[in-house]
Structure 1
Amino acid sequence: MAYPDGLLSEDEYVVVHTHPHWKMLVVPVVLFLIVVGGGSYLAALAAELPWNVPLWIALGAVGGVLIIWWTLAPLVRWRTTHFVVTSRRLMVREGVFTRTGVDIPMWRINSVRFSHGIVDRLFGCGTLIVESASDEPLEFDDIPKVERVHTLLYREVNDESEQDDQERWERR
């Protein structure tokens, strides 16, 4: 899925558009299975009781709330988080009801690093660390194919600085 072209400037194009790695959905899926399995087990136990229908309704309501809170909310959060590298800037957009965003122009980026432990390497993701003119480096966790994204972002930063150098040279 491409990032909406209406949010880009004239000669800007998308280099990378990704969501966080799917590994952040492992725990919500496991919790979903536990809630469904536990609810089914408790519903089967409640079948023997004379007041089983109100108990089933209560179990369904509690199970529904837990599934929405522990599974559906993280899934929507994952789906609405965008990490986008364009030819001119790095953009991160997060949120469903309250959207937040970070835009870093390429010319403000000083360095780009990545890190990934053994689990991240098995899953093929990692943390991208971007140092810009701001006080603290920004860390973006669970970036899929972080080494590839690092390389592409580094190339775009270098291309931007080379273009700036060339424009300054031509003005002299």
Structure 2
Amino acid sequence: MDPGEPRDPRGEGGHSPRDDDDDFRFRDPAMEDTDPGRTRAETYADERIEFEDPTFTAEELEGLDRSGGPRRFLPLEDEPTTLVARYLFPTERYRGEWKRHWIHLSAPLSIGAGATLLLGYLAGFLTRQDVNGMVTVAVLIWLGVISWVAWKVFDWYFDRFILTNKRVMVVNGIVTRKVAMMPLLRVTDMKYEQSALGRMLSYGTFVLESAGQDQALREVKHLPNPNELYLRVVEEMYEPQAVEARLGKDDEGDDA
């Protein structure tokens, strides 16, 4: 080698002596006392495992299911009703079902009450006028209105908003059944809207957006407790481990 030529720090073989030194190890100062001989690959592998399998401390679990404060959750349902169970496949996990707020019945109930007052007054007036044939017509009209109101009440009872760990669904209809659903993975945006009356009575309208243009489920009106329900859906979308941890803690409490 020319004395004036810079010396390659890797040596004559084109490689550093450290490449042949099996004892050269990466040392993390935080781990010097416990395991002074860990390699860089071993350390990174452990960090990757930690990231993929998160755990929750006792304090975090207490925060997941506290009933007061800003993060109040609706109680988790154990089993779906018979109405809902037929639409769930075996591998998805049921999270709950909710009927629409009673305000959903305000229009038909108001019509039924108004018809009762109006037709009752009309029937009394026609009776005093001895027009018995028209009284019968008034009674038949009233029965028709009340039957329509009863139909709306039954339809409200069978109308459910359903949440699982994979999708949201709306099931409604008595004779003609409609089932609309959207996978949670396809939900790109979700919001809820509350009017002044909705804030007073605790109901709101959910609006879901997805990547597709044709959506079977986009707007769901008159859902109860919209803030808590919104947090439940968002948590299922972004923190499913937290839901599983809370359910696991509840199971442990029941066993104890």
**Do the two structures share a fold, i.e. TM-score over 0.5?**
yes
1:7 counterpart SS class: coil
Shift of 1:11: 3.8
Q: State the match for 2:7 in structure 1.
A: none
Alignment correspondent of 1:134: 212
Q: 2:237 aligns with which of 153, 157, 164?
A: 157
The answer on 1:68 being equivalent to 2:131 is no
Within 5 A, what are the aligned runs for 1:28-67? 28-52=108-132, 54-67=133-146
Larger Rg: 2
Structure 1 unaligned runs (5+)? 163-172
Please tell me the residue identity of whatever aligns with 1:141: K
Structure 1 or 2: more strand by fraction = 1
User: Identity percentage over the alignment?
Assistant: 20
Q: Tell me, in whole angstroms, the C-alpha distance in 2 between the residues paired with 1:50 and 1:98.
A: 44
Which residue, 135, 156, 162 being the options, matches 1:84? 162
Could you state the TM-score of these two structures normalised by the residue count of structure 2?
0.56
3-state secondary structure, aligned to 1:93 = strand
| C-alpha spacing 1:6/1:51, structure 2 compared with 1 (3 Å) | closer
* Equivalence for 2:92: 12
Distance apart, 1:156 and its partner CA: 0.8
SS of aligned partner of 1:47:
helix
Structure 2 counterpart of 1:22, from 102, 108, 130: 102
* More deviation, 149-158/137-146: 137-146
Query: Does the 8 Å contact 1:3/1:14 carry over to 2?
Result: no
- The TM-score with structure 1 as length reference comes to 0.81
**CA deviations over 1:100-159 (Å, ceiling 9, x no partner):** 211212222223211112111111011112122222671211111111111110111114
Counterpart amino acid of residue 20 in structure 1:
R
Q: Secondary structure at the match of 2:89?
A: coil
Q: Cα–Cα, structure 1 residues 27 and 61, in superposed 2: closer, same or farther, change >3 Å?
A: same
After superposition, the CA RMSD in angstroms is 2.3
CA positional deviation for 1:49? 3.0
The letter for the 2-side match of 1:9 is F
Tell me by how many angstroms 1:45 deviates: 1.3
Larger helix share, 1 or 2: 1
Deviations 1:33-59 (A, max 9, x none): 21111222122112223342x222211
CA offsets 1:51-78 (integer angstroms, 9 cap, x no match)? 42x2222111111112223x22321221
Partner AA of 1:43 in structure 2 = A
Counterparts of 1:139 and 1:15, CA distance in 2: 20
Partner residue of 1:109 out of 187, 190, 207: 187
11-20 vs 129-138, which deviates more? 129-138
